[in-house]
Structure 1
Amino acid sequence: MGAPYSPKAKSVITLEVSEQSVKLGSKVKVSGSIWPVHLALVFLQVSKDEGESWSNLAMTASENGVYSYEWRPESAGNYLLRAFWAGDMDHKKMTSPSVRVEVT
């Protein structure tokens, strides 16, 4: 007999931005948290096509479940940002809701 099946627990990841409308050349602080609290790698992802495709913007470590990153957009336009955590042995992977940033 094998070990009993133990489903992974739900996790939550959030993402916030300091500004939702910025001038080109400005920095945007991207921050959020993971629950339950973990020291983990967080992938920040960006989309310029309304979420059709995503690319990794940065990888940052959460400390005490909290992460932050300063992003400087390279061109004008509308962006969607989101955070992704791959989970671990005990917790499911999770993607944050996306946040829109307009760069003019």
Structure 2
Amino acid sequence: MGTPYSPKAKSILTCEIPNQTMNKDTETTISGSIWPEHLALIFIQISEDEGSTWNNLGMATIERSNYSFKWKPEKSGTYLLRSFWTGDMDHKKMASPTVRVEVQ
């Protein structure tokens, strides 16, 4: 007999930005939360091609289910942002819904 299969649980991950239109070279804070609460690192990711490819901007540490990350875009354009968690032994990996940002 094999080990009983135990599916991984889902998590909920959010990603927010105060203004969806901003000027380049202006700092803003990307923030969000994870449920259930975990002590983990979240990757903040960016896409410049409508989500076809994602690159890591950096990492944020979750504290009491919340995280924040400072970002200062250096060039104009339309970007998609999201947060990504790799999961753990009990929870599936998860990406937050995307946030569209226009940088002028």
Band of TM-score, shorter chain: over 0.9
- Residue 79 (structure 1) aligned with residue 79 (structure 2): yes
Q: How many residues align?
A: 104
Trace 1:37-76 onto structure 2 (pairs within 5 A): 37-76=37-76
Cα RMSD, aligned residues only: 0.9
Whole-Å separation in 2 of the counterparts to 1:5 and 1:103 = 47
Which TM-score applies when normalising by structure 1? Answer: 0.95
* Structure 2 residues without counterparts, runs of 5 or longer: none
The 8 Å contact of residues 40 and 65 in structure 1, kept in 2 or not, is answered as: no
Structure 1 unaligned spans of 5+: none
Kindly provide the amino acid, as one letter, of the partner of residue 91 in structure 2: H
- 1:100 equivalent in alignment to 2:100: yes
Shift of residue 5, structure 1, vs aligned partner? 1.3
Runs of 4+ displaced beyond 2 Å: none
Cα distance, 1:2 vs. partner?
A: 3.5
Between the aligned partners of 1:92 and 1:77, the Cα distance in structure 2 is 32
Aligned partners of 1:69, 1:34: CA distance in 2, in Å? 14
